[in-house]
Amino acid sequence: MREPSDRLSLIYVGVSKIYRGYLAIIAIALLILVPIMVFAPGSTSIMVLVKNVAFFQFLGLLIMLPVMYRYIYKGFASLAVADKRTYGIGKIGALGLLAINTMAIGEYLYIMVATSLKSLTLLLMIMISFVLGFTLNLLTMIALYRLGNEFIIDELKLGVIGLIIATLLIVIPNLVTIYIGDIMGILSMAGILHGLNNVRKIIRDRWRNL
C-alpha cells in the first residue's frame, strides 16, 4: 500500500499531464478545423473533399500522437501507478487510443493516395474506427469519473457523462442532434478541464495539511 503522500503525488502528476494534454489536443484540433472549413467549400467533388479532409486529419494526427503519448498516456499511467485497481482502466484506454490513432494515420494516408474510394469501404473504415475509438475513450472516461468520485468533484463527473452523450449525439445523421452534441461536447470538456484543475487544488490543500 502506497503512503498517502506518494499516492497524492502520483495523482497530481497524472492529472496535471492529462489536463495539459487535453488543452494541447483542443488547440491542435482547432488548428486543423480552420483549414478544413476553408478548403471544404472549394472542393470540386466528394472525392476531392474526402481527400482534403483526410490530408488535414493526417497532419493533425502526426502532431497529436506525441502529445497523446507524453501527456494523455503518461498521465493515465501515473494514475494507474497510484491506484491500479481504480485508475488502471484509464491507462488501458489511453494505450489503445494511441494504437488506434497510429493505425488511423495509415488509413488517412490510404485515402489520400487511393485513385478511387468505394463508399462502402469508407463507411466501414469510419464505423470501425468510431466504435473502437469510442470504446477505448470510454475507458479513460471511467477513470476520470472515478477520479471525480474520489475527490467529490461533480463537474468532473458531469463532464464525463456529458461528453459520452455528446459523442453519441454527434454521430446521429441529423443537424439538430449534431448541433446539440457539439454544444454539449464543448460544455462537457470545459467541465472536465475545470474538474481536473480542482483535483490539483484539492491535492495542494491536502499537502499543506500533511
* Digitized pLDDT (tens) for each residue of the chain, 210 residues in all: 455 678 999 999 999 999 999 999 999 988 888 877 777 666 667 777 777 788 888 888 999 999 999 999 999 999 999 999 999 999 999 999 999 999 888 888 888 777 676 767 777 877 888 899 999 999 999 999 999 999 999 999 999 999 999 999 988 877 788 889 889 999 999 999 999 999 999 999 988 876
The SS3 call for residue 102 is helix
pTM of structure: 0.89
- For residue 83, being part of any structural domain is answered with yes
Q: Say how far apart CA 88 and CA 56 lie, in whole Å.
A: 33
Q: How far apart are the first and last CA of the chain?
A: 18
- For residue 39, being part of any structural domain is answered with yes
Cβ contact 156:145 at 8 Å: yes
- For residue 116, being part of any structural domain is answered with yes
Query: Which three cell numbers, joined as nine digits, stand for 186?
Result: 464543448
Measured on CA atoms in the order 36, 39, 42, 43, is the torsion positive or negative? negative
- For residue 162, being part of any structural domain is answered with no
Nearest alpha carbon to residue 140 among 93, 101, 184, 106:
93
Domain with 114, as residue range(s), is 4-153
Cβ contact 10:72 at 8 Å: no
In the chain, the number of structural domains is: 1
- For residue 30, being part of any structural domain is answered with yes
> 152: left (phi > 0), else alpha (psi -120 to 50), else beta?
left
- For residue 130, being part of any structural domain is answered with yes
- For residue 201, being part of any structural domain is answered with no
- For residue 195, being part of any structural domain is answered with no
Residue 168, CA atoms < 13 Å, CB-side half-sphere: 7
Confidence (pLDDT) at 1: 44
